[in-house]
Chain A
Amino acid sequence: MKKYIILVISLVLDGILSNYLKYINGDLSIFTSMFSIISLLIVYPLFNNKKKYLIVISIYGLIYDLFYTSLFLYNSLLFFLIGVILKSILKRIKLNYNNNIFFLIIIIIIYETLQVIILSFFNVIKIDLYNYFYKIKNSLLINIIYGELWWIILNYKKMKKTY
C-alpha cells in the first residue's frame, strides 16, 4: 500500500508544482520537479516481485501521460525502460542513504538522456547540449531533497536502530 501512496503523492505534487514554477525554455526554476520519475527509484525496494514493479510503473507512466503530457503511452514506455535499467543496476548494488543520492541523479540523467535521444532521432525538436545540461542542472536540487526525504521516512526505524 505504501508504494502506491508514494506514487500517487508524487504524481499529484508534480501536477500542482508544474502550474506554479517557471517552465519556459531557458527560464526554468531551480526547483523543477520530477517527482513521478524519482518515485520510480523510491518505490523500487518496496516491490519484492520485480516483474510486478515493471508492470506497475508502466501503468503509472500511462497515467502520467494521460494527466500531464498528451503523449499517450510515451512515458509508459520510458518508465518501463527506466525500470529495466534500474533493475539491472540494483541487482548488484543495494540502496543506502549515501548511494541513494547518486541513484537519484542517475535516474534524472537517464530520463533526460532517453528523451533527448528520442526527440532528436525523430527530428521533433532541436536540442542543444546547453539546454540538455541546463534542464538536468535545474532538476537536481528539489528532486534529490524529495528522494532523500522519502528514503528517511521509509527507513526511519532502521536508521534509529543503527545510530
Chain B
Amino acid sequence: MLKKGKSKIRLILFIGIFILLFLLFGYLIKTDRKLSTPESFFKDITSVIKTVICYPFSLFNKNDINNQTESYIIEKNINDTLNKEVKELKEQLSLNTTLTEYEVINATVINRSINYWLQSLTIDKGKSSGIEENMIVITTNGFIGITQKVSNNYSDIKLLTTSDNSFKIAVTIEGDGKIINGVLNGYDSKEQLLNIIGVTDYLQIKKGYRVVSSGLGGVYPKGLYIGEVERIDTDSYNVGQIVKVKTMQDFNNIHYVTVLGRTN
C-alpha cells in the first residue's frame, strides 16, 4: 500500500517536472525575447573571450577584410549623399519623416551561431552603439537579416536564411513598371531561395523582377534591395503564388555588416 502511494507520488513528480521542463524550453527557445540583465552581462564577457580565442584564426581572412572595408567606405559616401538629398527634398515638401530614413552603424561579425536551425551571427556592436532589437542589417549585396538579442556591446543577427515562423518582412516586387506587394517569409533550404507569400494568383510576375523592402508597417526602411525573382510557384490551395527569390549575398561569407536604425 505504502509502495503504491510512493510510486504514485513519483509519477506525479515526474510528470510535473516534465511539464515544467517543457514550458521552460518554450520560454528559452523564443528568438525574439529581450535579454535579461545577467544574460546581457554574460553575453558581453563570453563574446570578448571568444574574440580573443578566434583572433589568430581570423588573420586567415585578411584579404577579404581589406576588400570589404574599401567597399564600405564607398557605401558610406553614397549614404551621405542620399541623406543630403533626402534632407533637401524634405525641406521642399515640408515632410517630417520619410520611409527611407535611417542611421548607419557599421559592425564586424565576430561569431556564427553553432545552432543550425536558428541561423544567426554575432556582431561587435550593441546597445552602447545605438543598436536595438529588430533593426535591419545589410551588406553591400543588400538586406541580410535583422538584429535580435542585443546586449551592451554585442548583438545577434537573425539571417534571412532562417525558417523562423515569426520572421516576416513586407516587400515589393518591381519590374515592367509594376509594383506588387508581398510578405517575405521562410527559406527554401533545398533550392536556397527565399519565399514570398501573399501574392495573388492573377498578378503576372516574371523571372528577374527586383525585390525590395516596402517600408510598410513602419518598422523597416523602404527600398532595401533583397534579391531577384528566380521562380514562381502556386501555393498548395491554388489561390496564391509563392515567389522564389535569389539573393546576391553569399551567407557563408559575411565579415562586415551595416545596421540601419530608424532616426525618428
Contacts and interface: CB of A to CB of B under 8 A. Distances in A.
B186 to A, nearest CB: 6
A72 B28 contact: yes
A28 B42 CA distance: 29
Given A25-B189, A68-B113, A119-B117, 16 more contacts: A24-B161, A24-B251, A25-B162, A25-B187, A26-B187, A26-B188, A69-B114, A71-B29, A71-B118, A74-B25, A77-B25, A119-B29, A123-B165, A125-B162, A125-B163, A130-B189
Nearest to B116: A135
Contacts of A130: 189-190
A97 interface: no
Nearest to B32: A124
Interface residues of A, number: 42
Given A71-B29, A74-B29, A118-B25, A125 B113 contact: no
Interface in B98-129: 111-120, 122
Interface stretch (B45-53, B82-90, B216-224, B238-246): B45-53
B113 A124 contact: no
B43 interface: yes
Given A123-B165, A125-B163, A25 B111 contact: no
A120 to B, nearest CB: 10
5 contacts: A23-B112, A25-B116, A69-B114, A127-B163, A134-B189
A88 interface: no
Given A20-B57, A124-B29, A67 B118 contact: no
Which 10 residue pairs across A and B have the least CB separation, nearest first? A26-B189, A68-B114, A125-B163, A25-B189, A74-B28, A25-B161, A24-B251, A126-B163, A66-B46, A122-B26
Given A66-B42, A124-B29, A127-B163, A23 B116 contact: yes
Interface of A: 12, 14-16, 18-20, 22-28, 32, 64, 66-74, 77, 115-116, 118-119, 121-128, 130-131, 134-135
B113 A25 contact: no
B25 to A, nearest CB: 5
Nearest to B149: A70
Contacts of B31: 124
Nearest to B110: A19
Nearest to A68: B114
B24 A77 contact: yes
Contacts of A127: 117, 163
B235 interface: no
Nearest to A34: B114
Nearest to B47: A67
Most buried by A among B29, B117, B166: B117
